[in-house]
Amino acid sequence: MEYRKLGKTDLELSAITYGAFAIGGNMWGGNEKRDSIDSVKASIDNGVTTLDTAPFYGFGLSEEMIGAAIQGYDRTKIQLLTKFGLVWDGSNQGKGEFFFDAEEAGKTIPVYKYSSKTSVIHEVENSLKRLRTDYIDLLQIHWPDSTTPISETMEALDLLLQQGKIRAAGVSNYSVDQVSEARKNLNIASNQVGYSMLNRGIEQDLVPYAKENDLGIIVYSPMERGLLTGKYFNTGKLKESDHRNGYFQQFDLAKVKTFLDTISPIATNKGVTLSQLVLRWTSLQPAITVVLAGARNAEQAIANAQAIDITLTVEELSFIDLALAKI
């Protein structure tokens, strides 16, 4: 495994980081709890020391499973990354900016973006309990909240840093302008954003900014929620409750399939899967600190960890880029 320094912090994160969105269950058609916990343990056992979660993932379930899975491991050798700012419980519901209606167990649950100082501190206390820890390595705002001044949210993060409840502060889904505004108040370590072979918008603005300002970039959805594994084109069937039924429609699926067919010989020749090839390509892109990869079971987790061992030549990277240009 490769370990990379996050921004100007002393955090060393695993280049492949465990992304815990799917194990929360909501929006993904569900998952077996035992398989989820096993996937976390398998990740740690194979060098993936960094785990990224959020209260919203499963409405607390993902954090709870991460907390259960790390019991018995040396906490100082594991980096817990979580978030705040998406609220749904009774105390905060209706405050902030309405985001969307989530479905859970047949019920509609309104979710709001809300990051007031009081709310942030309240959320962190709950996260610490669910994660069974007394500190969080990196705390990130999940989505920008238009109803709360960025300075107020940063004030909450600064207080948590002083209290030792978090080791570093970051943002997620922030524009470059929002990152700049946040950094006027607090030297945030990172920005977590969506990035993949099919979604390279950050290369135009965030990547140059990160290079110039020593900002870490944590990327999610490198596999475009499974589309770039190629499995969708083989089976094409997802559970009715799976949000990807709609998500995949934003892409030209015929061109995506042609692209995957074009680069698959590289994976075959190296004895790896398309998923592993895509993860490794993503980890090698400029200014990318770590890549989040989800896993529903131990087998997938081990495969994700092994992706970092793939060697890609300059010629192979150029071939992939040429193929990408045709999508």
Catalytic site positions: 57
DSSP state of 249: G
Strand order in the sheet with 97-104: 86-87, 107-113, 97-104
Q: Within 10 Å of residue 287's Cβ, how many Cβ atoms?
A: 17
* Strand-pair partners of 112: 87, 98
DSSP state of 114: -
User: Cα–Cα distance between 67 and 74 in angstroms, integer?
Assistant: 13
Residue with tokens 């976390």: 40
Nearest in space to 31 (alpha carbons), one of 231, 296, 301: 296
User: Cα–Cα distance between 148 and 315 in angstroms, integer?
Assistant: 48
Q: Which two tokens stand for residue 211?
A: 């290079």
Spell out the residues 6+ positions from residue 210 whose beta carbon is closer than 8 angstroms to its own. Answer: 191, 216, 217, 287
Pairing, β 216-220 against β 190-194? parallel
User: Cα–Cα distance between 24 and 183 in angstroms, integer?
Assistant: 31
Q: Quick check: 124 and 84 in contact, CB under 8 A?
A: yes
Q: Within 10 Å of residue 181's Cβ, how many Cβ atoms?
A: 15
